[in-house]
Structure formats: C-alpha cells, structure tokens
Amino acid sequence: MKSWLFLLLMALNLPLFGQYRCASRQPSTGPDSAPARPLTAIEARGMITIPIVIHILWFTPSENLTDAQIQSQIDVLNEDFRALNNGLSTIPPVFASDIADMEIEFCLVAVTRTRTPFPNVANLYSDGQRRACHTLLGGHDALDPEHYLNAWVCSRSDNACGEGTFPGDPGVPADEQGIFIRPDCFGTTGTAAAPFNLGRTATHEIGHYLNLKHLWGEGLEDPLCQSDDMVDDTPEQAYSYSEFTGEDCPAHPSFSCGSADLFMNFMNLPADRCMSMFTNGQRARAHAAIQTFRPGLLEASCLPVGLNENEEETEEPLLLQNPSSAGARLLLPQKDRFEIAIFDASGRLVFNDLKASGGFYALDPGLFINGIYYIKIRNGRKIHVKKLIIAR
Ligand SMILES: [Zn+2]
C-alpha cells in the first residue's frame, strides 16, 4: 500500500478493508514498562488452564448461538494454544523451531444468554461504561474477572470481528476486561462465516488479553518498521496481511523490514485458515503476563459455575438424600430435558448424561467414593450446581 494512503487511513483511524479482524487498542503505556520475569521461573510453572465464561448477547435470534457453536470455539482454543491445530505442517522449515505449545488450555465454566435491546452492543457506551459488560445497561455483568476470562459474543458496528483488552491497561476497568467476538466470527459451525470461520478471532483476541501485540507493533501497520511486538523470536514486520481474506494466503518468503515475515502467526490479520502458530517468545510473554497481571487465573477452578439468572422459571431441580451414604436422587422439573454432569472435588468428570428427562433421576452409588461432588444440571439456558457429600 502506498504510504501516503496508509498514513491518511491511520490519521482517520479507519480500518483498511470492509471487514477486518481486530479492533483491539494496544495501550502505549502499561505492561511494557514492566520487565518480564526471568524465563526460568515462568517455564517452571508448566500448564495453565484458564476457565472461560461465555456471555451470549443476542439482538436477533440467530445471534443466540447454539451450545455446539460455543463448544466448537472452545475446541479451537484448545488446539491452537497447544499446537495441536491443523496447518502446522505447512510452516516453512525456517520457522519450524519457533512453533510453540503455549501450554495454555481452556475450560468452559458457564454460558449466559441475554436478549439485549441494542443492536451492535459490543461497542456501545453509556456514561463511559461499556454496555455489553453490564446487566443493567443491556449486556451481562462479567463473572469474577479476577478468576475467569469473560468472553462477550455480540454484534458490533465497526466491521471488526473482535477485540481483546490488554492486561494492565489503565483505560479498561476490571469488569470490562476480556474479549469481544462477533457471532459470525465465533467458532467453526452454525453462524460462523468465511473467511473468519475457524475460530481464530478468539485465539487472536485472547493473545491480546495475555499481552501479545500484533507482530508489526503499534498502529494499523508499521510500514517504516519503527515499532515492535516486544517478542524476540518474531521477525520485525511491517504489514498486517489483513488484505488476505479471499482465496489466497500469503506466500513464503514475504519480506519486510529486512527479513521474511512470520505472516502465519496468530497475531496477524489474514483469513483464519492462513494463521497457525504462536512462538516460544510469545509463550514466555503470555505466561509472564498471567503471573504479573492476571494471577487470579492461576487460582481459578474449572468447576462449572452456578448462575442465578432472573428468569421466569421457578421450578428448581432438587437433590434428595444429601449428605448420602450411598447414591442419591435428583428430582428434575417435568417440563424440560437436562444435561447432567458430575465432577469430583478436583474437577474430574465422573458422570455425564446429555439427555436426562424430568422426574426422579437416580445416581448410581457405584459412581462415588467418600468425598464431595458437584452435580451440574443444565436445561440449555440455565445451569444449576448441587454439592453432594458422600460419607459412608
Ligand atoms: Zn489484534
């Protein structure tokens, strides 16, 4: 792109193309002024599992995404952040040793569904408060943002697919921290639409949430090679590759700033299918960000979270015989079907039934040894969690 045109667009703060991936605001102060902790201390930490809460904010019914579409997004995250995704075999050999298992996994602990009175609620504000993040303003409150990654899935008016908040950004209050993904850029099924239909917008925005910058550094692009992403093993790069939303992906080698670009990195902006890797340096930066800015994530649990939504339904599932010396029985409201999942105190799934009917429901004594169990009962909209104590 001609540099004068680029500078003009940058001055106007306009996206370069009709549809684009990312509207994240990279703070110019904050996290980068703090030195990263020594790599050895970070590496010792090993695997991190981040519990994620999905808030579906729908204006048109098609935006009220199915559980299957939500799960497809969680599956993508657990592939992309563990280097288990497709496309790694196409990485040019010169970059192969840079491919990182980020050693980050995600568990879904709750889904909220809210009918919002506002179209494009993602970037609407009221007296400086972001509507999407507040129940009283037409969105849904964040759930314990110190301990959970909150993801709001809702439409927006700026043609961006998504946005992620950087840790330590003084401009973003804690209860508005998280990621914002447009419904048609979320997951791999249902309403997900090409070229952003492989779930990579959430991968990219969670990258920002964990302090990863775009590979070119600041601004929409960096044609003069003046800024950097603060990661050593990603080559200095000028362009975002956001124009690659059609048939073709960029071809290696694509040179800028004196070296071949790592255009297939998740922190660039081409079509979902053109991106496939994080680097070891990005892993170190993300783990350092969690330890420094989001340490609550390290203490969080993957146990499903019970939500007390204000819904018309008044009938509640009941847990009979608790504490119990054997099994237990549930009494489920007659009108619904339920998913029942039982977890032990360490969060391990010990039982799952995706199609339970209303009425009495017996839990086999053989499922349990002595201890505490959490029974998650879900009827699609609402999650109930019962604590069961087994003492023989
Ligand atoms: Zn971005």
Q: Any idea what the CATH number is for the domain that residue 214 is in?
A: 3.40.390.10
Angle, helices 67-80 vs 200-209, to 10°: value is 60
How confident is the model at residue 41, as a pLDDT?
43
**How many independent structural domains does the chain possess?**
2
Per the listing, tokens 């010990």 go with: 350
Is 316 designated active site? no
293 lies in a domain? yes
Does 280 lie in the same domain as 374? no
Strands 48-58 vs 160-164: parallel, antiparallel or unpaired: unpaired
How confident is the model at residue 244, as a pLDDT?
96
Does 284 lie in the same domain as 172? yes
Per-residue pLDDT of the chain (392 residues; tens, 9 = 90+): 334 444 444 444 444 446 788 999 887 654 554 444 444 444 445 899 999 999 999 999 999 999 999 999 999 999 999 999 999 999 999 999 999 999 999 999 999 999 999 999 999 999 999 999 999 999 999 999 999 999 999 999 999 999 999 999 999 999 999 999 999 999 999 999 999 999 999 999 999 999 999 999 998 999 999 999 999 999 999 999 999 999 899 999 999 999 999 999 999 999 999 999 999 999 999 999 999 999 999 988 898 887 755 444 457 888 888 888 888 888 888 777 788 999 998 888 999 998 888 888 999 989 999 999 999 888 765 778 888 999 88
**256 CA distance to ligand 1 centroid (A)?**
19
- CA 376 – CA 386 distance, rounded (Å): 7
Give yes or no for a contact between 276 and 84, defined as CB atoms under 8 angstroms apart. Answer: no
**189 CA distance to ligand 1 centroid (A)?**
22
Does 213 lie in the same domain as 108? yes
**183 CA distance to ligand 1 centroid (A)?**
17
Considering the candidates 63, 163, 176, 205, report the single residue annotated as catalytic: 205
Q: Any idea what the CATH number is for the domain that residue 332 is in?
A: 2.60.40.3080
308 lies in a domain? no
Does 273 lie in the same domain as 330? no
Q: Which residues surround ligand 1, an ion (CB under 5 A)?
A: 22, 24
Domain boundary at 248, 266, 299, which?
Answer: 299
**45 CA distance to ligand 1 centroid (A)?**
27
Does 328 lie in the same domain as 266? no
Domain boundary at 243, 271, 299, which?
Answer: 299
**239 CA distance to ligand 1 centroid (A)?**
13
Does 176 lie in the same domain as 144? yes
Q: How far is CA 99 from CA 2, 51, 279, 281, in A?
A: 32, 24, 5, 10
| Domain coverage including residue 384 | 318-390
Q: Is 283 helix (H, G, I), strand (E, B) or coil?
A: helix
